[in-house]
Each structure stands twice: as C-alpha cells, then as structure tokens.
Amino acid sequence: MRTVVVEPFGDVWAVRVDDVEPQLFARGRAAEDAAKIVAERLAAAGDHVEIHLFLRNGQKAARFVCLPPLSAEDSPLLIGGSLLAQAAANVDDTDQRVNA
C-alpha cells in the first residue's frame, strides 16, 4: 500500500508520497486536491493508496483510501473523509447519553 500525506510545511502545505521530494502548495485545499489526484493515478496503475491529512496542530483531520479499478472500464475508487466530523459526532452521542 502506498501512502500520500498532506501536512503543514512551514507556511505552506506539503504533499508527500513515500520518500519522494514533497510538492508544496500555498493552500491546504490545493494540497488536498493534489493528493487525491496523485492517489487516483497511483490506484489507476494498480496500487492501493491511503491519504492522510494533518492540521497545523498535528492532528489527523482526514483519511482516504483509493482502490484500483476492477476493470479497464472503471475508475479508481476514493473513499473516506473527515475524522474530525466523526470525532464530533461521537462527542455528541456521548453528550446525548449523559443528558438522557
């Protein structure tokens, strides 16, 4: 499995794939979009890929998995999303159980 990491790099954002020199972006959203494109290209070549997105404070914000296509007619499948939304939902569930 290949890993693509989006993380802060000084005042900019870096997209790293394995030990290759990172691509740098001024905005986090541009780095995330680039990471997804890289993952889809790697998956199209047959690799399983994970994308890890980190915030400036070091917290993991999201995780995606990109799977290779099943046939020549298919596209790679990108699944996953924000871990922060999941954590917030778990906190809400806990609050509701405590308040019940």
Q: How far apart are CA 3 and CA 61, in angstroms?
A: 15
Cα 40 from chain centroid?
A: 12
Looking at residue 81, what is its pLDDT? 84
Nearest to 80 by CA among 71, 94, 67: 67
Looking at residue 59, what is its pLDDT? 93
Nearest to 84 by CA among 48, 54, 47: 54
Looking at residue 90, what is its pLDDT? 53
The structure's pTM equals: 0.80
- Per-residue pLDDT 10s for the chain (100 aa) are 999 999 999 999 999 998 789 999 999 999 999 999 999 999 999 999 999 999 999 999 999 999 999 998 899 999 998 877 555 555 444 444 444 4
Looking at residue 45, what is its pLDDT? 95
Please give the structure tokens belonging to residue 12.
């900019």
Which parts of the chain fold into alpha helices (H)? 28-44, 83-99
Looking at residue 85, what is its pLDDT? 59
Looking at residue 72, what is its pLDDT? 85
